Amino acid sequence: MNAPTHPDDLMPEVHQREVPQVLIDALKVRFSERCSTALVVREQHGRDESSFTVPPPSAVVFAESAAEVAEIVRLASEYAVPVIPFGVGSSLEGHLLAVQGGISIDVSRMNRVLSVNADDLTVTVQPGVTRKQLNEELKSTGLFFPIDPGADASIGGMSATRASGTNAVRYGTMRENVLALEVVTASGEIIRTGTRAKKSSAGYDLTRLMVGSEGTLGVITEITLRIYPLPEAISAAICSFPSIEAAVRTTIQVIQLGVPIARVELIDANTVRMVNAYAKLGLREEPMLLMEFHGSPTGVKEQAETVQEIASDHGGNAFEWASTPEERTRLWTARHNAYFAAVQSRPGCKVISTDTCVPISRLADCLLDSVRETDASGIPYFLVGHVGDGNFHFGYLLDPNLPEERVIAEKLNHDLVSRALRLEGTCTGEHGVGLHKMEFLVNETGAGAVDMMRTIKRALDPKNIMNPGKIFAM
Amino acid sequence: MNAPTHPDDLMPEVHQREVPQVLIDALKVRFSERCSTALVVREQHGRDESSFTVPPPSAVVFAESAAEVAEIVRLASEYAVPVIPFGVGSSLEGHLLAVQGGISIDVSRMNRVLSVNADDLTVTVQPGVTRKQLNEELKSTGLFFPIDPGADASIGGMSATRASGTNAVRYGTMRENVLALEVVTASGEIIRTGTRAKKSSAGYDLTRLMVGSEGTLGVITEITLRIYPLPEAISAAICSFPSIEAAVRTTIQVIQLGVPIARVELIDANTVRMVNAYAKLGLREEPMLLMEFHGSPTGVKEQAETVQEIASDHGGNAFEWASTPEERTRLWTARHNAYFAAVQSRPGCKVISTDTCVPISRLADCLLDSVRETDASGIPYFLVGHVGDGNFHFGYLLDPNLPEERVIAEKLNHDLVSRALRLEGTCTGEHGVGLHKMEFLVNETGAGAVDMMRTIKRALDPKNIMNPGKIFAM
């Protein structure tokens, strides 16, 4: 695994296949104004939150049903043209980019919550439903969907990237919370991968194979999810620490004791400073943990007392509490605004986000060494982390006019990933591989495992039309 | 889906491929006395707890490392001869049967706990380690591995069948608790499917693809598992109910309220009677729930009070409590002895066990109709269930000299599965498909999903040597 040394090393390989006019014409006839070739529409569907730039897809089709998705895939398959599913475009790793050309299938109009089974704690949705929309629609039921990756991502996209976020420490990731899928395969067939039963040993786990496959094995057209009763009591707190190490050691001990904490997020002093400047929150400009406790009133009290005791052993300050929804929102604003606050701190900057995740016992080693390296580099950054899961993100804030900064940032990320892998961790806890981590994946799992992935891809998508060029090179 | 009408319909298809003597000779040279062709050894490896009988494998090789497993697979592959992994032989669905002939790879000597990472709550084991052995070795650490399928199964076998059992309602199944695997592929390569990170978005979820693949995609040679801190407090209770329906309705409400109950098992009156006769437990011969609560002392108390209130609303009796380990063992003896007690109630009988799992809101419908049908059939049976997950087992107690009983039992199972599928459930919650549920699988997932499984199998095992003839026909 070699770190890039020149800005040119950082561009994804682009091999645009021909998209014959006859295919575009056929899509226009079939979908009329729902098939767009307008440049502005194509460009909007040809980029995401990653820092890559490649030519946009040749057309965008707004699908309204699984049957329509299947039709588009069958047509594209006829001409061996790539198809790329599109939800809201919040991917961070170039998943949406048409590196081999092709057609973008926009599923944002497939945005209905199809059924809520409150008694079974399941819900079935179309892929364009966003997580905030889902929670809005669940509001009256006393239930909620906990997975919160920050962005108001689509459930289809969250499934495809195996997303997680702040609540994963308690509720798991999309891996644990997707019960079943409807998927359009590379041949344009519609299949179902599971039932609403909570557990099953019925053959290969196609659900989990599709979750995290980044659109390379099929287009997800329906998702059945686990949902949860809103906790009787919710309490949030922030606590400042004399050092990142003290905050991390506190987290490690909380997890090792088995405290069922719902959220435990780290923000470093530097990032608190950015957030204060952005939102005038007046927080202590020290490393900070934001925590949330879910449960019965006594359970929440018990958890909080335990954590407070551990924090104080590590020099943490008294908790600042938030028990009403309004106060909680104020506290969580700090976390949710970190990205925007950081971007604003260096106007016009582009962000590259890291995503390593290590076993919790290795978290301090992994994080502290990388903080030292990043500080020494002079690259401005923010640092936030789902530290209860051993997952954290540096966001390097890069001046797009200074390509050498990008090289330095990629070198930092490269060294961080190498360190995480040495510590038995992964290069990506929740963002996915996309275009950006293909080499890291080989280093992480070994060539044999990636070969197995490639063999599966080749078998299920022999024409290589499902979002090609992502996760691994064929 | 047609129910069988004749005992001959119940036999698995057997097409034994030739196992050339040159292969046996090569294995004998390489493994000397660890390669056995003694009939008694082969027969012991050619059957499991299912009711099928087929000719045994041609040889049994006792492997002692992943490298040895890989060697055996490479040799077998050279001659396109099937290999069948063997742990302790506790499978219920014919997984171990050499329906296409071949070599049994016994991994029971690969029984070392390789590392315990108490700080990360992970453990890495060889596939022959059994769950009781693992918990014995964890005893001094204050940690435990919760998955308990009843039998003292091997961790390799539990992974291969996606096993679960009594604790799954709180701790999940093997799907949620296997973090990473080492696997020998069909070409005899050794690959790793994950890291010790708690979550990851690094490419296809090969771990989950292998978990539940029943040996048809590879031989599992190492498993990294999640483990848990022993709860501060554990309390168990039994409660009798005036009807199965009352017990089931109690369970449904407990789950829907989000009570984090660790175990909730149903035993019907008939089975309590058998258990009393077997173990002189003096239990009330009424439908019964056995429950266990894990947590802090106040948390456990709170959970128990909530459940007791719900039970009493449904006519449940006062709880009989067990807080010391000895008392708990006595209560759980009832559950753990149910199988043996039932077998003893009809000496010489063979058991066929059902394994449907439905969404919890459908549990009463599914269970009660099947109880009526089974009562009407006159076939003796026991009934136990992991009802918190919507999973339950009828065990039909069949006289092997009366093949018509087997036909009746299969008809009952057939109708039960049809009902479970109509109610959005699965034909197998935890036992796997094996030989017994291949037709049910197609009905459950549809031909498209099974075709996808078949395509994956063909791609990863082109010679069809990895435990062939299981899950689906090629």
Q: Which amino acid is at A56?
A: P
What pLDDT does A123 receive? 98
Answer whether B101 touches A (CB < 8 Å): no
Query: Using a CB-CB distance cutoff of 8 angstroms, which residues of chain B are in contact with residue A390?
Result: 197-198
Q: What is the pLDDT of residues A325-335, one digit of tens each?
A: 888 888 888 78
Given the structure tokens 């009424």, which residue do they identify? B286
Answer whether A87 touches B (CB < 8 Å): no
Answer whether A422 touches B (CB < 8 Å): no
Answer whether B280 touches A (CB < 8 Å): no
**Confidence check: pLDDT of B331 > 90:** no
Answer whether A200 touches B (CB < 8 Å): yes
What pLDDT does A318 receive? 85
Q: Which residues contact A318 (CB under 8 A, 6 or more apart)?
A: A239
The answer to whether A273 touches A338, Cβ cutoff 8 Å, is no
Nearest by Cα to B106 from B41, B193, B39: B41
What pLDDT does B50 receive? 81
Question: Are B191 and A446 within 8 A, CB to CB?
Answer: yes
Q: What is the pLDDT of residues A66-88, one digit of tens each?
A: 999 999 999 999 999 999 999 99
Structurally, what CATH architecture does the domain formed by A113-229 represent?
A: 2-Layer Sandwich (3.30)
| DSSP string over B271-305 | HHHHHHHHH-----SS-EEEEEEEESHHHHHHHHH
Question: Are B201 and A430 within 8 A, CB to CB?
Answer: yes
The answer to whether B353 touches B386, Cβ cutoff 8 Å, is no
Query: Using a CB-CB distance cutoff of 8 angstroms, which residues of chain A are in contact with residue B448?
Result: 185, 189-192
Question: Are A209 and B204 within 8 A, CB to CB?
Answer: yes
Order the strands of the B350-353 sheet from edge to edge: B320-322, B233-240, B288-295, B263-267, B381-386, B391-398, B350-353
Please state the rounded mean pLDDT for residues A289-297: 94
Query: Using a CB-CB distance cutoff of 8 angstroms, which residues of chain B are in contact with residue A258?
Result: 228-229, 231
Partner residue facing A441 (CB), from B203, B424, B444:
B203
Given the structure tokens 């003292």, which residue do they identify? B152
Report the residue of chain B nearest A164, measured CA to CA: B199
What pLDDT does A238 receive? 94
CA distances from residue B71 to B105, B184, B262, B361 in whole angstroms, order as listed: 11, 10, 42, 49
Average pLDDT, chain B: 94
Average pLDDT, chain A: 94
Q: What is the pLDDT of residues A249-279, one digit of tens each?
A: 999 999 988 899 999 999 999 999 999 999 8
Question: Are A199 and B168 within 8 A, CB to CB?
Answer: yes
Question: Are A444 and B202 within 8 A, CB to CB?
Answer: yes
Query: Using a CB-CB distance cutoff of 8 angstroms, which residues of chain A are in contact with residue B196?
Result: 359, 424-425
Report the complex ipTM. 0.96
Question: Are B456 and A459 within 8 A, CB to CB?
Answer: yes
Q: How far apart are CA B71 and CA B93, in angstroms?
A: 28
With cut-offs at 50, 70 and 90, classify the pLDDT of residue A336. confident
Answer whether B64 touches A (CB < 8 Å): no
**Confidence check: pLDDT of B4 > 80:** no
Q: Which one of B175, B198, B298, B431 would you mutate to disrupt binding with A, by most A Cβ within 10 Å of its Cβ? A: B198
Report the residue of chain B nearest A176, measured CA to CA: B176
Q: How far apart are CA A137 and CA A152, in angstroms?
A: 14
Q: Which one of A201, A226, A356, A471 would you mutate to disrupt binding with B, by most B Cβ within 10 Å of its Cβ? A: A201
What pLDDT does B102 receive? 98
What pLDDT does A323 receive? 77
Please state the rounded mean pLDDT for residues B142-148: 96
Partner residue facing B258 (CB), from A228, A298, A452:
A228
Please state the rounded mean pLDDT for residues B148-177: 96
Question: Are B193 and A431 within 8 A, CB to CB?
Answer: no
Answer whether B229 touches A (CB < 8 Å): yes
Answer whether B425 touches A (CB < 8 Å): yes
Question: Are B211 and A205 within 8 A, CB to CB?
Answer: yes
Q: Which two tokens stand for residue B404?
A: 């018509």
Partner residue facing A449 (CB), from B176, B206, B212:
B206
Q: How far apart are CA B154 and CA B131, in angstroms?
A: 6
Q: What is the pLDDT of residues A11-22, one digit of tens each?
A: 778 888 999 999
What pLDDT does B281 receive? 85
Partner residue facing A429 (CB), from B201, B431, B432:
B201
Please state the rounded mean pLDDT for residues A159-180: 97
What pLDDT does A9 receive? 66
Quote the strand ranges of A250-376, DSSP E.
Answer: 263-267, 288-295, 320-322, 350-353
Please state the rounded mean pLDDT for residues B161-173: 96
Partner residue facing A204 (CB), from B203, B448, B453:
B453
What pLDDT does B302 receive? 92
**Confidence check: pLDDT of A365 > 70:** yes
Report the residue of chain A nearest B177, measured CA to CA: A176
Nearest CA-CA distance, residue B291 and chain A, Å: 19
What pLDDT does B335 receive? 84
Query: Using a CB-CB distance cutoff of 8 angstroms, which residues of chain B are in contact with residue A257?
Result: 229
State the pairing for strand pair A103-106/A83-86.
parallel
What pLDDT does B48 receive? 86
**Confidence check: pLDDT of B7 > 70:** no
Given the structure tokens 């999973």, which residue do they identify? B391
Q: What is the pLDDT of residues A437-471, one digit of tens each?
A: 999 999 999 999 999 999 999 999 999 999 999 99
Helix boundaries (H) for A61-182: 66-78, 131-138, 155-161, 168-171, 174-177
Q: What is the pLDDT of residues B225-249, one digit of tens each?
A: 999 999 999 999 999 999 999 999 9
Nearest CA-CA distance, residue A346 and chain B, Å: 30
DSSP SS3 for A390: coil
Chain A, window 132-161: residues with a beta carbon less than 8 angstroms from a chain B beta carbon: 161
Please state the rounded mean pLDDT for residues B416-432: 98
What pLDDT does A5 receive? 72
| DSSP string over B34-52 | GEE--HHHHHHTS--SSS-
Q: What is the pLDDT of residues B363-392, one digit of tens each?
A: 999 999 999 999 999 999 999 999 999 999
Class of domain B233-422: alpha beta
Nearest CA-CA distance, residue A104 and chain B, Å: 22
Please state the rounded mean pLDDT for residues A147-170: 96
Chain A, window 1-40: residues with a beta carbon less than 8 angstroms from a chain B beta carbon: none
Question: Are A357 and B198 within 8 A, CB to CB?
Answer: yes
Q: How far apart are CA B77 and CA B23, in angstroms?
A: 10
Order the strands of the B83-86 sheet from edge to edge: B35-36, B59-62, B103-106, B83-86
Which residue spans of chain B are classified as CATH 3.40.462.40?
233-422
Chain B, window 391-420: residues with a beta carbon less than 8 angstroms from a chain A beta carbon: 391
State the pairing for strand pair A59-62/A103-106.
parallel
Q: How many CB pairs under 8 A join A and B?
A: 285
Query: Using a CB-CB distance cutoff of 8 angstroms, which residues of chain A are in contact with residue B450?
Result: 203
Nearest CA-CA distance, residue B102 and chain A, Å: 22
Q: What is the CATH number of domain A7-106?
A: 3.30.465.10
Which residue spans of chain A are classified as CATH 3.30.465.10?
7-106, 113-229
Q: Which amino acid is at A68?
A: E
Query: Using a CB-CB distance cutoff of 8 angstroms, which residues of chain A are in contact with residue B121?
Result: 255-256
